[in-house]
Amino acid sequence: MRVGIIGMGWVGSSVAISTLHEGLARELWLHDRRPDLADGEAMDLAQGASFYPSADVRCAEIEEMRDCDVVVIAAGKGGRPEQSRLDLLRENASIVRDIATELRGGRATIVVVTNPVDVLTHVVWRASGLPPERVIGTGTMLDTARLRQMIGRELAIDPRSVHAHVLGEHGDSEVVAWSAANVGGVSLRSAPGWASERETAIAAEVRTAAYEIIRRKGATNHAIGLVTAHLLGSLLRDERRVLTASRVHDGSVGLGGEVALSLPVVVGREGATRVLSPSLDAKERAGLERSAEVLRAAIASL
């Protein structure tokens, strides 16, 4: 399998090392607008070849990446502590649009990591000419991982035993589907030790987690690197996992007009194909509809 990563900053480099550790790529091609950075990362990663499954790591131009199985777009400006993800929109939209145009006509499925990821997933879909299932944003996969970690912390159990999802925007309008959350098949709200009055605070902690990390270290990168490798694994190994990834949806999901946001989707070799309709209470459904409106407005502003 051949994987390309465009943008070798904090996030791109974390995606690269996580991809190698997972053994997902026989060939890993790297690109950055600063050629020396991409070359240095390729050299650094290649010299660790004794510690991950065999892979050839090298630099590549964007047009070469049309022949990759998957291309990850991690290029763009990172956020400052006082910025929302939507504040990054215009500059990063221009960057990813140019990249998607260069990839047009290729066979690669495109994974978008750059923020604001939902709006940029829509931008890349438009510019690439690919069907919506083959342009996938990491969406709320990271938010969902954060939520599960925090619920696991509250209940003193492994996050992998928690089944709970964050839906909608990867950002301030995201929605936690508390009513459908469960632990080992037991409704979360019935689980011993769970305090429902903590839900508002935990949802806020999930929503603001990136801002807190950026305030302390300047960027978020390790967790999103792991998330992206998990998504790549489902694509490249045709695992058909249900993930809260972002893709463009039309009105068929009951959220009005065309919008890119996160819902549970089945991800395999053909992309994010089947969309599952989550079970939500009235408040959660209203929140998801509001999130769709926020994202449509952001798309329209371009």
Is residue 163 part of the annotated active site? The answer reads no
Helix axes 10-21, 222-236, angle to 10 degrees: 50
pLDDT at 253: 78
Q: Are 292 and 256 in contact (CB under 8 A)?
A: yes
- The response to whether 9 counts as a known ligand-binding position is yes
Share of the chain above pLDDT 90, in %: 91
Digit-coded pLDDT (tens) for 98-121: 999 999 999 999 999 999 999 999
| Cross-strand partners of 266 | 242
Rounded to the nearest angstrom, the gap between the alpha carbon of residue 72 and the centroid of all alpha carbons in its chain is 10
Task: State how far the Cα of 12 lies from the Cα of 9, in Å rounded to an integer.
Answer: 5
pLDDT for 178 beyond 70? yes
Q: Is 109 helix (H, G, I), strand (E, B) or coil?
A: strand
| Among the listed residues 260, 17, 2, 242, the one whose alpha carbon sits nearest the alpha carbon of residue 115 | 260
Please indicate whether residue 250 or residue 81 has the higher confidence score (pLDDT). Answer: 250
Q: Taking the C-alpha atoms of 166, 168, 172 and 173 in order, what is their torsion angle to the nearest 10 degrees?
A: -110
pLDDT at 252: 72
| Cross-strand partners of 56 | 27
pLDDT at 85: 61
- The response to whether 32 counts as a known ligand-binding position is yes
Share of the chain above pLDDT 70, in %: 97
pLDDT at 89: 86
Task: State how far the Cα of 75 lies from the Cα of 101, in Å rounded to an integer.
Answer: 14
Digit-coded pLDDT (tens) for 43-78: 999 999 999 999 999 999 999 999 999 999 999 987
DSSP 192: T
Task: State how far the Cα of 294 lies from the Cα of 169, in Å rounded to an integer.
Answer: 8
pLDDT for 297 beyond 80? yes
- The response to whether 10 counts as a known ligand-binding position is yes
What are the start-end ranges of the H helices in 156-269? Answer: 199-217, 222-236
Angle (CA) 52-53-54 rounded to 5° is 115
pLDDT for 194 beyond 80? yes
Neighbours of 119 (CB within 10 A): 33
Radius of gyration over every alpha carbon of the chain, rounded to an integer in angstroms: 19
pLDDT for 94 beyond 80? yes
Task: State how far the Cα of 128 lies from the Cα of 66, in Å rounded to an integer.
Answer: 11
Q: Is 186 helix (H, G, I), strand (E, B) or coil?
A: strand
Q: Which of 61-75, 83-97, 205-219, 278-292 has the lowest mean pLDDT?
A: 83-97
**Residue in 122, 165, 170, 230 annotated catalytic:** 170
Ordered structural domains, the chain, with CATH:
2-137 (3.40.50.720), 141-300 (3.90.110.10)
pLDDT for 84 beyond 80? no
This prediction has a pTM of 0.95
HSE (side-chain half, CA atoms, 13 Å) at 174: 37
Rounded to the nearest angstrom, the gap between the alpha carbon of residue 23 and the centroid of all alpha carbons in its chain is 19
Digit-coded pLDDT (tens) for 209-249: 999 999 999 999 999 999 999 999 999 999 999 999 999 99
| Among the listed residues 299, 148, 172, 289, the one whose alpha carbon sits nearest the alpha carbon of residue 227 | 148
- The response to whether 29 counts as a known ligand-binding position is no
